[in-house]
Amino acid sequence: MDHQSLNFSQRLIAWQRAHGRHDLPWQNTRDPYRIWLSEIMLQQTQVSAVIPYYQRFLARFPDLQALAAATEDDVLAHWSGLGYYARGRNLHRAAQLIVEQHAGIFPRDFDAVCALPGIGRSTAAAICSFAFGARQAILDGNVKRVLARHEGISGFPGAKSVQDQLWQRAETLLPEADVESYTQGLMDLGAGLCVRRRPLCRVCPVADTCVALRDGLTERLPSPRPAKVLPERETTMLILMNQGEVLLEKRPAPGIWGGLWCFPEALGDGVEGVAQRVGVELRSVVALAPVDHGFTHYKLRIHPMLGEALRQPRAQEPGLLWLSLDDALGAALPAPVKRILAQLQRSLVSPFSLQAAG
């Protein structure tokens, strides 16, 4: 390690101990289950949003064995609202694999951790660092921003050539000791000072060696993702009601919202085709206002059609559930489906008097 790298890591460690975060719910523990859960939840989600979900999830699944023994529906219901549901499915599957392959004990070996579903190189490094004191470099979104600015690395961090440069610097800057404080310091620096807009360079512990600050590039690094117009898609969903209950259908996995409960979707066969597929007769149908939802790679416009079912089918088909609105809101639902159901529940009179679209 060169002198600059030593200087960087030592100052970051000292700053973290004096000014960093020390009282988050997943800190001050060596329990790999709790650390792993927090790292998965923190992927693409801010700390303030994660904390209440983390606490509720732990109350329901206090250890790895409880998570492995749970049903996917139960796990996804407790994940509902966090988004990126593949994280919840991977977490559940990984817990089952740890029980099957590692006797229920979270593996200490870095490669074994990397091999678990939903755990990449950086997440595995954070888990092994905080749980086992392992010397492994991390490179999450915040750390990419810190290193791109401090080291003056231009280019979109998602590009492989840029990411390779960032990993090389992450490995070089890694100290020989106090890796946990250093790793937490990188995370704290990226979350609190070296933020996306208007970074607080004045109080940054490594500002005097920062290339972006020296060259006036803090607002331009890291380089943004190349502009791309998101495609737009549309779908029609049928909200079937019968005697105060609503019909939900389980989405196939893998796929968008895989494993979650949703309104039946019209896939080119119209609402009558949907009704026939799920075995109900329709008495009336009204179009509600469209609902927009954004994904990473496209925008989705949902056209909800509220239908009154003449009767429920006698035989309950697998993958279909009739639930009260209260019970439906407690199921594992995609965010826009939960919004629509909440609107139905808030209506003071019959759902069929809700304002129609147009």
Q: Give the domain CATH number at 337.
A: 3.90.79.10
Residue 311 included in any domain:
yes
| pLDDT value at residue 347 | 76
210 and 271: one domain? no
Catalytic-residue membership of 39: yes
Per the structure, the complete domain to which residue 159 belongs is given by 3-214
Give the C-alpha distances (Å, rounded to integers) separating 344 from 244, 279, 354: 10, 23, 8
| Domain match, 159 and 78 both | yes
Catalytic residue among 39, 180, 249, 308: 39
Q: Is-contact 150 198, C-beta < 8 A?
A: no
Q: What's the CATH number where 101 sits?
A: 1.10.340.30
Residues 284 and 342 in one domain: yes
- Provide the number of structural domains found in the chain: 2
pLDDT of 6: 63
Question: What tokens appear for 126 in the block?
Answer: 């954070």
Contact 337, 81 (CB under 8 A): no
- Do 65 and 140 reside in the same domain of the chain? yes
For the chain, which residues score pLDDT lower than 50? Answer: 348-349, 353-355, 357-358
Alpha-carbon distance 90 to 269, whole Å? 33
Domain membership of residue 225 (yes or no) is: no
Residues 91 and 128 in one domain: yes
Q: Determine the pLDDT at residue 289.
A: 92
Q: Give yes or no for a contact between 135 and 179, defined as CB atoms under 8 angstroms apart.
A: yes
Please indicate, yes or no, whether residues 187 and 244 belong to a single structural domain of this protein: no
